[in-house]
Every structure is written in structure tokens, then in C-alpha cells.
Amino acid sequence: MRLTTKGRYAVTAMLDLALQGSDAPVSLADISRRQQISLSYLEQLFAQLRRQSLVRSVRGPGGGYLLAARPEDISVACIIDAVNESIDATRCQGAGDCHNGETCLTHFLWSDLSDAIHDFLSGITLGELLNRQDIRAVSQRQQRSGTDINTIIAQ
């Protein structure tokens, strides 16, 4: 079982947005810089997140993205689902054709694990993550690093 880059990046970008964008829109370029995620990849992810009404875009100067709901109402599983990512511990992607076209001996075990992981991530919201001191410390470090880089570039 693995969560691909797509799901990880979507959750990371949404958490960054939640941390930075309480009042003003956050640009994807800023998220890209802080999280070291390709801007074009973020654009693709945010198109999917916007279609699922998790974010809303603001056009024009000073534009960017805002959360479309309160952080307490957006679960990690919802973000992963929005980018068409699945958390699946089975080898057959849940189809049940894992052993010569038939269900393998451990299919139901791995299927139950997949469901448990999804349930676990459904119980974690961006709001909860925002309240974690360890996450806030990382965010502050990233902000300082970005400021240092911008200072160097300006000189």
C-alpha cells in the first residue's frame, strides 16, 4: 500500500493554504516555493480541488486560492479523494481478481486495511492539523527560509 505523490502533494498544498490563507488569497507560486512542488503540478491539483469545491480561486492582482470551507470541515481523506487518489492495500485495486482472476486468500484482509486507513484519514481535518505545534513550527521555518531566499534574490 502506498499513497502516491499526487495525494501527498494535494494534502501538503491544502495544509499550506490553510496555514497561510486565513484572510487573503494564497498564490500557487508561493505554495510551490515553500513546499518545493512544481507550479504546473500544483495547477493541475488545484483544478481538481476547485472542481470538488474544496478551494475557490480569486482572479486578478493579489489573487490566488482560498479554502472553500472551514479547515475543520475538510478531512484529509476528502482531499485525497478529490484528486482521484485511492489508498488501497490490495494488489488488485479492490477488484478481487488478484489470484489468477479470482480473489486471493488475503484480499479481504488488505481490503479491510484500506477501509481502516480511509476511515482514519476521514477523522483528521485540516483544522486539527493547524492546531498541532509541530506543524506550526515547520511552517514558521519554511516562512523564514522563504524570506531569507527573497532577501538574497533582492540584493
State the pLDDT at residue 151.
43
Long-range contacts of 141-146 (CB under 8 A, 24+ apart): 142/34, 142/35, 143/34, 146/30, 146/33, 146/34
State the pLDDT at residue 27.
95
State the pLDDT at residue 119.
95
Mean pLDDT, 10 residues at a time, the chain of 155 residues: 82 96 89 95 97 95 93 96 85 78 88 93 96 92 68 39
Read off the pTM: 0.85
State the pLDDT at residue 147.
53
Q: Where are the domains of the chain?
A: 5-85+125-154, 87-123
State the pLDDT at residue 62.
85
Long-range contacts of 88-93 (CB under 8 A, 24+ apart): 88/1, 88/114, 89/1, 89/113, 89/114, 89/117, 90/114
Instruction: State which CATH number among 1.10.3720.10, 3.40.50.1820, 1.10.10.10, 3.40.50.1400 fits the domain covering 5-85+125-154.
Output: 1.10.10.10
State the pLDDT at residue 91.
79
State the pLDDT at residue 153.
38
